[in-house]
Amino acid sequence: MSVTTPEEVVTKAVVREVDLHAFGFAGKLALITLDNGLDYNRPNTIGPQGLTELNNAIDSALASGADAIGVTGKPFIFAAGADLSGVASVTDGAQARAFGKLGHDVFRRLGESGKPTFAFINGLALGGGLEIGLHCNYRTLASTAFVALPEVFLGLVPGWGGATLLPQLIGPEKAAKVIMVNALNNNTMLKAPEALELGIVDAVYLPADFLEKSLAFAAEVLSGKKKIERANYLTDDGAWQSAAEIGGAAKARKYGAAPVDAPRLALALMAQSRTATRDSGFAAEDDALNELVMDDPFRASIYAFNLIQKSKKKVEGAPKPALARKVTRVGVVGAGLMASQLALLILRNLKVPVHITDLDQARVDKGLAWIHNELDTLVSKKRMRAEEAGWLKNILTGSTSNKDFAPCDFIIEAVFEEMEIKRKLFSELETIISPECILATNTSSLSVSKMSDHLKNPERVIGFHFFNPVAVMPLLEIARTPHTDDATTATAVVIGKELKKTMVIVKDAPAFVVNRLLMRFMGEITDALDEGTSPEVADSAMTPLGLPMSSFELLGLVGPGVALHVAQTLNATLGDRYRVSPTIERLVKNGVRTFYNKDEKGNLVINPDAAACIEKGSKPSSADEVRTRALTALAQEARMMLDEGVVATPAEIDLCMLLGTGWPLHLGGILPYLDRTGISESATGQRFHPKGVASLP
């Protein structure tokens, strides 16, 4: 069957002969260069036409009479894997299998041509890009390059030889780290020294003379001056058992008990590679790809992945960047942990003077000390030069007087979540700062409009809601009030980009997107608990979805006090569907901060003090009933939010939940999942997305 991808950007494969005499070998190497003809923003990818290009280039290289074959990429880019742009058009398993087999048929020629083959990996090599290298006999790598096999992260397996060849090359335990652990840790990529240490590549060279050094390496191998020894890992029973445990643990950390096929199949392929021939191993990879590509989790992962990547580049509804004001000095009101995190993030990324304040000097000093310590830690981990850390410390100041904010262009408050405190603060700041200075609030649930409606210049006030921990969580909710002007919003977006955040512009509505949905679903869990459902059943209700943590673990992370305050705010603004839980009230009243303790083995057990606070209801539910109830509530709330215009599109809700709560990638976002399971229609009478979005048409 022919394989086509309608939207493929074709990566060409150009062949030229290189005389190796100057490098000490009396012969020639046929060098294949992969190049899609575009700039560095569009890496080489491998689609059906690209595979045909590479196949023809291998024909030419073999026909040239050269002594060896080399493959390299365009400047600073080797290849970023398979071209997945046409996935939505694949509706037949035979198409998926044919694409997998075509890749195998072409790539394996590099390892079975009868001539020595070299991969000169001069830049980024992901997935199929790295697999090209694995099919070659020898590999060099640029010192600035990153390599990875991210397929399991996207709901696939390394299906062009990676799952079979990598364990044989570097051993099963190391392969499990690359294929399972790194992929499931949000696609962690290997730096060049790590790839060399693992044995994935044979040499690392600086980019300035990378090709020359790589050709010299090839000449030494061809002349016999350099011998590359390969270990035999096939007989080490313990290593193969350990690899299975390492991979299984990575799957459990990421998905819990959720039935996710890609990790399961990847583990099976790695185990089979111990005895697999290339024929049997590659055939098994084709089978796995056929199964996965025609499965909804892969479609869902690609939808979510593409949504995240697109949103990094463009913020929906953002005004033109030219409207943004220049920011040369930033103020942070507060010196507690959240405020200190904000100050550190701004300091590191904007690299402008930052001033913090608090009620007394002891709190200010504590905040400054925390920031200084974090900078020192970055230096000790070699993630920042000592000179830069020293400079950043010098431009960080603190005091107890808000008058010191007078020269600031942008001020963000992170004080106690109480409306009158924030209104009073903004009133005071307005008498100190210039009319152009922007006032931002990190509130998680209060009305930004009410916070600013008494000001002379409410148009310069905006919600700037980060998630904890600030440096790690990628989402930033930017909340516009009816008064917020475009210049303020544009400035906020520019700052957000400099802070490396993915942003969603939301209407100023109670709790914006993430906390409104999170509290609605958490409320259903705690309601079930209060009604008499056991803590174990209530907490395990969402386990099959593979969420990052259980409901009560999340409650402990957020803190019962914060959860209670947000619930009370939403109950007052949105009504009784946000019921205030008597159990949570007791937890706060009795100072109980966590629902779980750890036993001597590190296992989570119910905190007896928390158990004593649980409402003693008499109407227990099953885990399935609790889960259906919680998901139904999510669908209803999401529909209301779209009807109210909190965000403009369902995709923005998906993005918020993916990045703000860790909603699993393999579910494709919350709304596609609710569509696929039929909950959207049963709860609201309609789907959120058209059929075919994040699922098979």
Active site residues: 131, 151
Contact call for residues 333 and 339 (beta carbons, < 8 A): yes
Residue 57 identity (one-letter amino acid): A
Measure the CA–CA gap between 102 and 52, rounded to whole angstroms: 9
What is the SS3 assignment for 655? helix
Residue 425 identity (one-letter amino acid): L
β-strands 124-126, 146-148 pairing: parallel
Measure the CA–CA gap between 182 and 441, rounded to whole angstroms: 36
Measure the CA–CA gap between 157 and 268, rounded to whole angstroms: 10
* 127 token code pair: 């997935």
Task: Give the DSSP H or E segment for 101.
Answer: helix 93-107
Task: Give the DSSP H or E segment for 396.
Answer: strand 396-399
* Residue reference for tokens 């479609």: 299
List of residues 6+ apart from 128 with CB closer than 8 A = 46, 79, 81, 82, 103, 160
3-state SS of 261-293 is HHHHHHHHHHHHCCCCCHHHHHHHHHHHHHHHH
Measure the CA–CA gap between 644 and 512, rounded to whole angstroms: 11
Q: Where are the beta strands (DSSP E) in 3-115?
A: 12-19, 28-35, 68-73, 77-79
Measure the CA–CA gap between 214 and 257, rounded to whole angstroms: 46
What is the SS3 assignment for 95? helix
* DSSP string computed for 544-562: GGT-SS-HHHHHHHH-HHH
Measure the CA–CA gap between 128 and 311, rounded to whole angstroms: 25
Helix segments in 136-236, DSSP class H: 162-170, 172-176, 183-184, 192-198, 210-223
Helix segments in 474-540, DSSP class H: 486-498, 514-530, 535-540
For residue 360, how far is the Cα from the chain centroid? 39
Query: Exposed, middle or buried, 354 (CB in 10 Å: 0-12/13-18/19+)?
Result: buried
Task: Give the DSSP H or E segment for 338.
Answer: helix 337-350
Q: Where are the beta strands (DSSP E) in 573-678?
A: 596-598, 604-606
Measure the CA–CA gap between 396 and 357, rounded to whole angstroms: 11
Query: Exposed, middle or buried, 662 (CB in 10 Å: 0-12/13-18/19+)?
Result: middle
Contact call for residues 414 and 363 (beta carbons, < 8 A): no
Q: What 8-state DSSP symbol labels residue 324?
A: P
